[in-house]
Chains A and B, each alone.
Chain A
Amino acid sequence: MRKQVLKSITELAVRDERVVFIGSDLSPGVMSDFRERFPDRLFMEGVSEQHIIGMAAGLAMEGFIPYVNTIATFLTRRCYEQIAMDVCLHNLPVRLVANGGGMVYAPLGPTHEAIDDFALMRALPNMTVTAPVDANEMAALVNASLEYPGPIYIRLGKGGDPIVTPEIQQFQFGVPTILRQEGQIGLVSTGIVSAIALRAADIAAESGVSVKVIHLPTIKPIDTESFFSAILGCEHLIVVDEHLSVGGLASVVAELLTYSIFSVRPKSCSVNLGQDFLHNYGSQAEHLASKGITDIVLAKQCVNLATSEMVRI
């Protein structure tokens, strides 16, 4: 996904001279192809996130479309006021490409773990928040981002994430993707967790339990009608999110269910990273497992629900 997003941005730059790339002291050689072809449209700035967001806003005010790339935690927390005031208040087409969404950088500790990025970005007026599941969806998202109005936050996975969506696809902002049809239990997820949810559905199917997998590549804004159409038939939703419980996908779904005039609401529960900083190191997968975000645990939950009295199968 990481390689794909940079490749896709370079392809956009070939197509459209408004595309510029801004990095914050990234790794040596990153975007060398872009730099060779468009040296005046690539800016490898220093470790100065506040500055690069303001600079991106200035470029966007003059008609350019900046793709700003650095580590998710620094791209959201360090320059929050710049994102709010320079980018969102002016509603500019700045794209925040955030490496290491969720627990990707678990070995590096809490300073590098993007466990609150959805909450921070969702709170900002005009900001669109996205988290593709794989490289194919990322390519489609970047392609669609060119003409999309206003700012976009794009959460990236680790790289080498399993491919679960078609190579050729159209990205529709705000519209959920149903990765697995049918099932009175629905797994609702975003980002790379949707691939885990899909495997969980496969495992549950072996026990004769059908599970619907509803992937939300855009978590803000959400097309309400499409969302309720997607969860139609589900009596129970399990919202799975690589994020704190506050402000992430659990909040998104809770808000949708609360605000909606939809008369029949499915019972819902959430599996997420909880409410605290995570102090262990290890790997992303280990952290997800410690919170119950694995295919086997989720499948078990689905099977348990399906066989309990709570859900009428």
Chain B
Amino acid sequence: MSSLAQQAQSTRLDDRSLYLRNLIVDALEGGERGHVGSSFSLVEIVRALYDNVLNKQSDDPVWSQRDRFILSKGHGCLAQYAMLADLGYFNKKELKSFCRFDGILGGHPERGVVPGVEASTGALGHGLAIGVGMSLAARIADCNWRVYVVLGDGELDEGSVWESALAASQHKLASLTAIVDYNKLQSYGAVSDVLNLEPLADKWRSFGWEIFEVNGHDVAGLTSLLGATPTQESPRVLIAHTIKGKGLPMAEGQATWHHKAKITADDVKLLRQALANA
């Protein structure tokens, strides 16, 4: 295990991180299902972005000068929903209607349905291309807003990601930042067993991107890198070493917790207890 992965493992979650995770449990309770591990691994990434980095107006989700955030790994949407609810993009009560017939919060996020969601994602390998388009749009319109795209590690199996990685580099899109939620587990099992990505940093570097690696549960470290002004004429990627299911001992590092199709009231109790003891 790399030192950053070890740091990710040992990082203690503070009150805000635990609070956001409890909001996710609210949604899991309401929907009785959800991508648990996939959303718990990226809480600090979305927290650093929304709390400290993104230029935004929560009372005007389509404010023209906002920074754009695309959750390309749409199955991690519970983390984004928790953030958006906490920031007042919509009422926290909506979390209880997660995946319900008449709710606005589906198992994958939808633009035009969920305030604050820039692009409907869920099919993997789409968000980076959309981010490239948005970044080009900012350049044409001479605007200063920036584009952030969160990718899953399993998502990097999609060839389309690398098409867009080439294009972003070709267009020298310094306003574009990708963040890889590198939790090392995909649906079936370990990324290294299913389709090994290593050497991951070298891959991005060879595609012309500026590389940073970070403990993906260190909010200060994430904030410092994500908020920094680009110094090169190239897109940037943060490889965020995370723990799938972070904060839930029974789920951490367990592929079986990638998605749960049935979550009972007893499960919810266990999840709450785990977070209380974290």
B129 x A62 contact (CB < 8 A)? no
B30 located at the interface, meaning its Cβ lies under 8 Å from any Cβ of chain A in the complex: no
B123 x A46 contact (CB < 8 A)? no
Smallest beta-carbon distance B156→chain A, Å: 14
> Pick the contact of A46 from B133, B140, B167 — CB < 8 Å?
B167
A50 to B129, CA, bound (A): 8
A90 located at the interface, meaning its Cβ lies under 8 Å from any Cβ of chain B in the complex: yes
B141 located at the interface, meaning its Cβ lies under 8 Å from any Cβ of chain A in the complex: yes
> Which single residue of chain A is at the shortest CB-CB distance from B132?
A55
Please, which residues of chain A bring their CB within 8 A of the CB of B140? 20, 40-41, 64
A-B contact count (CB 8 A): 99
A89 located at the interface, meaning its Cβ lies under 8 Å from any Cβ of chain B in the complex: yes
Please, which residues of chain B bring their CB within 8 A of the CB of A81? 123, 126
Please, which residues of chain B bring their CB within 8 A of the CB of A51? 129, 132, 160, 163-164, 166-167
B119 x A61 contact (CB < 8 A)? yes
Please, which residues of chain B bring their CB within 8 A of the CB of A20? 140
Please, which residues of chain B bring their CB within 8 A of the CB of A63? 137
0/1 interface trace, chain A 136-171, chain B, CB 8 Å (1 if under): 000000000000000000000000000000000000
> Pick the contact of A62 from B111, B126, B134 — CB < 8 Å?
B134
Please, which residues of chain B bring their CB within 8 A of the CB of A313? none
Please, which residues of chain B bring their CB within 8 A of the CB of A273? none
A20 to B141, CA, bound (A): 12
B125 located at the interface, meaning its Cβ lies under 8 Å from any Cβ of chain A in the complex: yes
Please, which residues of chain A bring their CB within 8 A of the CB of B112? 90
Please, which residues of chain B bring their CB within 8 A of the CB of A271? none
Number of B residues with CB within 8 Å of any CB on chain A: 32
Query: B residues bordering A, Cβ < 8 Å?
Result: 111-112, 118-120, 122-123, 125-141, 159-160, 163-164, 166-167, 170-171
B166 x A46 contact (CB < 8 A)? yes
Smallest beta-carbon distance A96→chain B, Å: 15
Please, which residues of chain A bring their CB within 8 A of the CB of B128? 54
Q: Which of A41, A50, A54, A61 has the most CB of B within 10 A?
A: A54
Task: Write 15 A-B pairs (CB below 8 A) sorted by A numbering.
Answer: A43-B136, A43-B171, A46-B166, A48-B160, A51-B164, A51-B166, A54-B133, A54-B160, A55-B133, A56-B133, A58-B136, A61-B133, A86-B119, A86-B130, A89-B120
Smallest beta-carbon distance B122→chain A, Å: 8
A89 to B136, CA, bound (A): 21
Q: Given A46-B167, A90-B120, are A54 and B134 neighbors across the interface (CB < 8 Å)?
A: no
